[in-house]
């Protein structure tokens, strides 16, 4: 799964990397411990241009009677995302990218969980493949998202058996295009990222608490 990540990208860097035309951010701040239910920066395409905005992390299907279901839907399995009732329509019509600087995962070591921070070797932002949805009860509307996961690559396999789907720049345009409905092609993007382009290192267990949020969290032990 992917349950925490880091985000400390500069706005101009994001705009260039993701070819952003419109930026409409209610909130924009660095975070060294992004947690579920928080607003996260996302890239969406309106059919003509890429927009940078925010969505609540924790997918709420439009048909759900209780928005609290979002707590359980921070991730969607890439192997079944096109089939699950909760995600299949969004997979066809409402895909997004969730930029990140890195993400955390925990390895079980002698009965204790040791956190790792994982990022790209070249320092580029990660582009998590995501889905988004709008839920409303008539009085309140919530725009939410989920991060798609896949099996672990060689680097991650020693830490955890799952990892977030990280898109390559060559895939951004097709993934974001709302008119692209070829499930076979879309599913082909949901592969483990090349392990040789990533690094992982141990960090402090301070990251275990979402209330801790400072740059020392990503320092290597």
Cα–Cα dist 29/19, whole Å: 20
| Residue 105 is a catalytic residue | yes
Across the strands, what pairs with 105?
Answer: 116
Distance CA 162, CA 160 (A): 6
Q: Which of 2, 9, 133, 145 is flagged as catalytic?
A: 2
Strand ranges for the chain from DSSP E? 5-7, 20-23, 31-34, 39-45, 50-57, 75-77, 95-100, 102-109, 112-120, 126-136, 141-151, 162-164, 198-202
In which element (H, E) is residue 93 found?
A: helix 88-93
Residues 96, 105, 133, 145: which is the catalytic one?
Answer: 105
Nearest alpha carbon to residue 106 among 58, 158, 71, 142: 158
Q: Residue 152's closest CA among 167, 135, 134, 165?
A: 165
Catalytic residue flag (residue 145): no
The alpha carbons of the chain give a radius of gyration, in whole angstroms, of 17
Residue with tokens 């060559």: 170
Do residues 75 and 146 touch, judged by C-beta distance below 8 A?
yes
* Catalytically active residues, by annotation: 2, 105
């Amino acid at each position: 799964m992917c349950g925490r990540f880091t985000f400390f990208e500069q706005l101009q860097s994001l705009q260039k990397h993701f070819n952003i035309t419109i930026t409409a951010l209610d909130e924009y701040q660095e975070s060294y411990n992004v947690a579920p239910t928080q607003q996260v920066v996302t890239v969406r395409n309106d059919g003509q241009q890429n927009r940078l905005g925010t969505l609540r992390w924790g997918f709420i299907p439009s048909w759900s009677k209780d928005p609290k279901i979002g707590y359980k839907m921070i991730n969607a399995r890439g192997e079944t995302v096109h089939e699950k009732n909760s995600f299949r329509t969004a997979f066809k019509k409402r895909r997004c990218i969730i930029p990140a600087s890195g993400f955390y995962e925990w390895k079980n070591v002698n009965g204790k969980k040791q956190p790792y921070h994982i990022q790209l070797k070249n320092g580029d932002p990660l582009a998590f493949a995501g889905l988004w949805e709008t839920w409303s009860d008539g009085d309140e509307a919530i725009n939410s998202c989920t991060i798609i996961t896949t099996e672990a690559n060689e680097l991650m396999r020693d830490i955890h058996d799952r990892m977030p789907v990280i898109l390559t720049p060559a895939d951004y345009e097709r993934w974001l295009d709302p008119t692209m409905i070829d499930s076979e092609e879309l599913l082909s993007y949901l592969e483990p990222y090349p392990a040789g382009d990533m690094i992982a290192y141990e960090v402090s267990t301070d990251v275990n608490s979402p209330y801790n949020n400072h740059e020392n969290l990503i320092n290597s032990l």
